[in-house]
Amino acid sequence: QTTLGIRRVRVHAFSRLNFRFTELSKRKLAWFVENGHVTGWDDARFPTIRGVLRRGVDISALRTFICSQGASRRVVNMEWNKFWAENKRHIDARAKRFMAIDKVNNIELTINNAPDGLNFVSTDFVPKDSSIGKRLVCISKKIILEAIDTEGIVVGESIVLMRWGVVKITKVEGGLEGDFLPDGDFKNAKRKISWMANVPEQLSTTLFEFDNLISKEKLEEDDNFKDFINPNTMGATEVIADFGLKSLQKDDIIQLERRGYYRVDQPYVSKDKGLVLFMIPDGKSKAMSGLAGKLAHR
């Protein structure tokens, strides 16, 4: 190279980046596809580019994470939560906020002094950035809460209905009732609760969560990966969601308050072909609130 006067070639050796509870061999991943353990190479549980993008990874977050690892010769087993935490940094500022309540495990609350009929209040899509826009939240005398949020609630207790205001509980036995307090003290209320107006026309939505395909943290050379296949890698939850979700498009990323971040895998088309959202891990080992999902939060 010196004699010929051409640019000197530099060879850099670096190791492969491994992840815990993950198989990266293309031959072994093909086995999962061929045997029906996943829906294809773009399955949200797969450690492929198409797979993580379908799970809800932002391209810029993926680039930032890979560049931050450098070109090390040392073989490392990276934790997925570091990858997802980087992704959260990129999507949090632009993810519009909505609410959704479990379709089965919910409790009705009657607000005695709420206005009759259906009314609406305006709130920011993103509380910290009003420039992203506003949405209308439907309010009514009867609303539904997550059943888990009402456990241990007592008469006289004040609760915060997110994006609406403070309600003082006046009755527990025989049905939950309360009074809306226009000047209620948010700081003194211990519970900050997501809710939905209990109206005849409701937007049914399916939330999907995913877990790792491999149940062992690190596979050794003599391990047969087929002996460590996780039998429970996908969970689905039916929820009643904010009607604003009807306008979402495929690949939009949102946050369901107190539940987590989600990517739109299938936009709403009709009652028979409803909205499908894929949960995006946020890098934390625990859920954002008491609303824990059906699978490990990772």
Give the pLDDT confidence of 161-213 residue by residue, as tens digits: 999 999 999 999 999 999 999 988 888 898 999 999 998 888 989 999 999 99
Please give the mean pLDDT across all residues of the chain. 91
In our burial notation (b when 16+ CB lie closer than 10 A, e otherwise), range 173-195 reads eeebbbebeeebeeeebebebbb
Residue 128 token pair: 């910290």
Task: Please give the pLDDT value at position 11.
Answer: 85
Percentage of the residues of the chain whose pLDDT score is greater than 70: 95
Rounded distance, CA 269 to CA 56, Å?
A: 21
Is 91 within 8 Å of 280 (Cβ atoms)? yes
